[in-house]
Amino acid sequence: MDLDTAQSPLPLPGAAEAAWAACANGVLLVDAGIDSFPILDANPAMCRLSGRTRAALVGASALGLGGAQPGDLLGAALRTAAAGGAPQPFLVQPGGGAPCSRWTVSLAPQGDAAARLLCIAEDVTDLREQQALLAHLSTHDALTGLANRALFNERLQAAMAHAHTHAGGVAVLCLALDGFNLVNESLGYVAGDQLLISVAMRIQACMRAQDTLSRHGGNEFVLVLADVADSAEVQGVCEHIVRVIGAPFPVIGQSLHAGCSIGIARYPQDAGDGVTLLRYADMALSHARGLGGNQLQFFAPEMNQRTAERAQMEAALRIALIEGQLQLQYQPLADLQQGAICALEALVRWQHPLMGLIPAGRFIPLAEAAGLTTALGYWSLHRAVEDMLAWRAAGLPPVRVAINISPKQFRDAALPQAVAAALAQSGIPPVQLSLEITEAALMQDPQASDAILAQLKALGVGLTLDDFGTGYSSLNHLKRFPLDLVKIDCGLTGNIVTGADDAALVKTIISMAHHLGIEVAAEGVETEAQCDFLRRNMCDQIQGYFFGKPCDREQVASMLAARHAVPPHLLRIQKQARTLLLVDDEQNIVSALKRLLRRDGYQILTAHSGQEGLDVLAANAVDVIVSDQRMPGMIGADFLRAAKTLYPDTIRIMLSGYTELQSVTDAVNEGAIFKFLTKPWDDEQLRTHIAEAFRLKEIADDNERLNLELRTANHELAAANRRMEDVLRQKQQQITRDEISLNVARELLQFVPLAVIGLDDEGMVAFVNDAAERMFRQNGAILGNEADIVLPELFPDGLAPSGSHQVDIDGRCYQVVAHPMGANSQSRGSLITISTCEDLP
């Protein structure tokens, strides 16, 4: 018989013997009457724990099972128990790789007088491993194995104490990966975790034994540099880390590049405690990120001051929303075809009780960082609606108001419902409300943007693409989204008169928007020259200080009442007065020319140098220029060359008694000079040449005017086509929805047990459900025939049913009820239901 499975030598009942063998804990029975404490029996679990067979255990001394640790703990416990002492648990770690166990020894009373001890052992290997793991996780990051905040604080305190004792220094580095969220979004969180582990390993390779690296969550690491001498040493470590992290990372089969930003705070220079030191390093990190990423930034005291001011401003802004310190101002937009105010842009301003009027550029970024832009947007919407109602109550002409929608508010699913509710409650027509959205906001999630814009478009409000010309500025985006207006960014508008590149860009934007049926407005128009450029290049609207500054509700009312408008000479299609510019450094020549030419009805402007002539051209629309050649500072040929470049539509004549042949010839060949006349001049000849120049200019103006009219008509046609496409798309969607509803209704009526027959407005049978087909099966084909012919049972008087009446069909009484359609829908005809009279109440 195998000794490991032999029965216990003790007389045990069957159930007890089974429990002995199945017990998960190891059990030894020891003879306490002999000093060597021989083992009387051992269960199978004890054999596994001790690593011995039952045959090897029975008869052997229990004193040899004390484990690998010094001292015979088991022997001591046996003697204590034999002497009647209380059982005390103790831990045994046997040699030879046996599992760790916890033992308890107690007196085992038996029926006979023999003294026996019961030793119970419990396997605690897994428990010890779990305790060790929990102890590790309490001080280390689960993903990277780096120190966590608790261990970091402990190591930082130790490093600061050592630095204080030895007059040394400590640096705390807050490090964050640039663009880490893009990795998670594009490749998934598994790739992000792999990247974090790789970054941790690379930073550890840059450390010394006395340094500590910890992960504080997300993609932020904190490094404690102990025993650093000066800032140069710290900067060298940081630059090395940036270079190491800048090398590509192999992640899930791809090569990723990751930059990092580092903020640095030093002990004792910046702070004397760990909490402040870490906070200052984090401030420096934020500043480094604000510089564009991949930057190092040491903490500076002004950062703390800015942070404190920002926190105070954020708290004050939250109070301002509650206490009504915010106000709306409106900047008007002018229509360059009619000249009148065509729209107002609502601008949020903050009237602080102590700091006065706070410009938007100071608190809007703060609102974005604090997550308050959505609240500001909805406040602006409701306040603008209130002001529009006030203007309407005052009898002022209606004007469209544009509300700026922040990217966060645009992503709010409740935006369409909020706009619809504001319109419904106020009764403001949707066409009087416009929403301005930046291209960056649209491109954060183009598919979601399509859905939101479709909902807003269905409400009938205008949609404006703001700040076009910065960021993406894609023609495809203009084509994709259902926009009504594009606003050219003021950064382009400011240089259209002097910058050829910006002028070309603005012309291109206007042209491509018009081809798509979208109107164009230019922001930041500050001068008449800019307005004139935009007028001549078909821009639809202008906005800027040239036409009007932002103003409050009462000032807007005054402007609307006064019908504030653009000067007539700046309208897009017009016939201007003839304007002549005389440029000569001799005053008597200029006076003589004015006397000669005044009879011809020209508007005459004068200048006494080339530069003065350019200044006049910048401020006035000029048709013909007559210039002298020999003038101080700038000769006439160079002046006319500049005039041709900047104002190519002008006709340029040189009138001079001094001929520098080469300069004049070059100017003529370049097209800078239309005619060259000599002094002294012949009055009639001069008048004839100037009149001819005006005729040529008027022909060119007529051509341009016709071109503008044609382009305007084309733009209006494109806009009409775009609107028609929107209407057709909405109609198609409605038809699809109606078809679905009709199919559902038909399916439902088929399974109704009541007989139902549908008639069109001419009495033809258009629908028959299953119950009606069974009832009139003997009548043959019903569908598509005249009801009074194929269903004579329903028309005892030969008239189409109306209301309710009873008929007799096959000897049974039926109630026929006609339900006219069209009361709550666009359906026509009637629906007839047939039920037995017995079913009626």
Q: What is the pLDDT of residue 573?
A: 64
In the predicted model, what is the mean pLDDT of residues 143-149?
84
Q: What is the pLDDT of residue 128?
A: 72
Residues 54 and 115 in one domain: yes
Residue 746 covered by a domain: no
Among 255-269, 422-436, 660-674, 755-769, the range scoring the smallest mean pLDDT is: 660-674
Residues 549 and 639 in one domain: no
The alpha carbon torsion through 270, 276, 281, 282 (nearest 10 deg) reads -150
Does the pLDDT of residue 387 top 90, yes or no? yes
Q: What is the pLDDT of residue 113?
A: 47
**What is the CB neighbour count within 10 angstroms for residue 462?**
21
Residues 539 and 585 in one domain: no
Residue 529 covered by a domain: yes
Beta-sheet pairing, 830-836 with 755-759? antiparallel
Q: How sure is the predictor about 421, in pLDDT bands with cuts at 50, 70 and 90?
A: very high
Q: How sure is the predictor about 409, in pLDDT bands with cuts at 50, 70 and 90?
A: confident
Contacts of 540 (CB under 8 A, 6+ apart): 335, 336, 337, 485, 519, 520, 521
DSSP 97: T
Residues 683 and 601 in one domain: yes
Q: How sure is the predictor about 398, in pLDDT bands with cuts at 50, 70 and 90?
A: very high
Among 109-118, 390-399, 453-462, 725-734, the range scoring the smallest mean pLDDT is: 109-118
User: Taking all residues of the chain, what is their mean pLDDT, rounded to a whole number?
Assistant: 81
Among 381-390, 481-490, 746-755, the range scoring the smallest mean pLDDT is: 746-755
Over residues 628-663, the pLDDT tens digits come to 888 888 888 889 888 888 888 888 888 877 655 666
Most confident of 283-292, 370-379, 427-436: 427-436
Most confident of 139-148, 261-270, 443-452, 709-718: 261-270
The CATH number of the domain where 676 resides is what?
Answer: 3.40.50.2300
Residues 389 and 529 in one domain: yes
Over residues 760-769, the pLDDT tens digits come to 877 888 888 8
The CATH number of the domain where 798 resides is what?
Answer: 3.30.450.20
**Which is more confidently placed, 807 or 170?**
170
Most confident of 140-144, 280-284, 725-729: 280-284
In the predicted model, what is the mean pLDDT of residues 823-838?
76
Strand partners, 330: 346, 551
Does the pLDDT of residue 71 top 70, yes or no? no
The alpha carbon torsion through 519, 524, 530, 534 (nearest 10 deg) reads 0
Domain total of the chain: 5
Residues 478 and 598 in one domain: no
CA–CA distance, 317 with 369 (Å, rounded to integer):
12
Q: What is the pLDDT of residue 417?
A: 92
Residue 742 covered by a domain: no
In the predicted model, what is the mean pLDDT of residues 144-171?
87
CA–CA distance, 320 with 660 (Å, rounded to integer):
71
The CATH number of the domain where 230 resides is what?
Answer: 3.30.70.270
Residues 429 and 282 in one domain: no
The CATH number of the domain where 447 resides is what?
Answer: 3.20.20.450
Which strand (E) or helix (H) includes residue 148? Answer: none
Q: How sure is the predictor about 521, in pLDDT bands with cuts at 50, 70 and 90?
A: very high
Q: How sure is the predictor about 709, in pLDDT bands with cuts at 50, 70 and 90?
A: low
Over residues 113-122, the pLDDT tens digits come to 467 887 888 7
Residues 177 and 213 in one domain: yes
Over residues 763-805, the pLDDT tens digits come to 888 888 888 888 887 777 788 888 877 887 777 665 555 678 8
Q: What is the pLDDT of residue 707?
A: 72
Does the pLDDT of residue 812 top 70, yes or no? yes
State the residue range of the domain holding 821: 751-839
Angle in degrees, CA 718, 724, 725, rounded to 5: 90
What is the DSSP secondary-structure string of 238-259?
Answer: HHHHHHHHHS-EEETTEEE--E
Q: How sure is the predictor about 308, in pLDDT bands with cuts at 50, 70 and 90?
A: low
What is the DSSP secondary-structure string of 486-505?
Answer: EEE-HHHHTTTTT-HHHHHH
Over residues 21-66, the pLDDT tens digits come to 878 788 888 888 788 888 888 888 888 877 788 888 888 888 767 5
Residue 366 covered by a domain: yes
Residue 150 covered by a domain: yes
Q: What is the pLDDT of residue 476?
A: 67
Q: How sure is the predictor about 334, in pLDDT bands with cuts at 50, 70 and 90?
A: very high
Q: What is the pLDDT of residue 2?
A: 40
Q: What is the pLDDT of residue 111?
A: 43
Residues 85 and 229 in one domain: no
In the predicted model, what is the mean pLDDT of residues 212-230?
87
Residues 99 and 215 in one domain: no
Over residues 736-770, the pLDDT tens digits come to 777 777 777 777 777 778 888 888 877 888 888 88
Residues 525 and 603 in one domain: no
Q: What is the pLDDT of residue 396?
A: 92
Answer with the one of 562, 597, 632 that is the final residue of a domain: 562
Q: What is the pLDDT of residue 560?
A: 93
Does the pLDDT of residue 13 top 70, yes or no? no
Answer with the one of 274, 299, 324 that is the final residue of a domain: 299
Q: How sure is the predictor about 312, in pLDDT bands with cuts at 50, 70 and 90?
A: low
Q: What is the pLDDT of residue 89?
A: 67
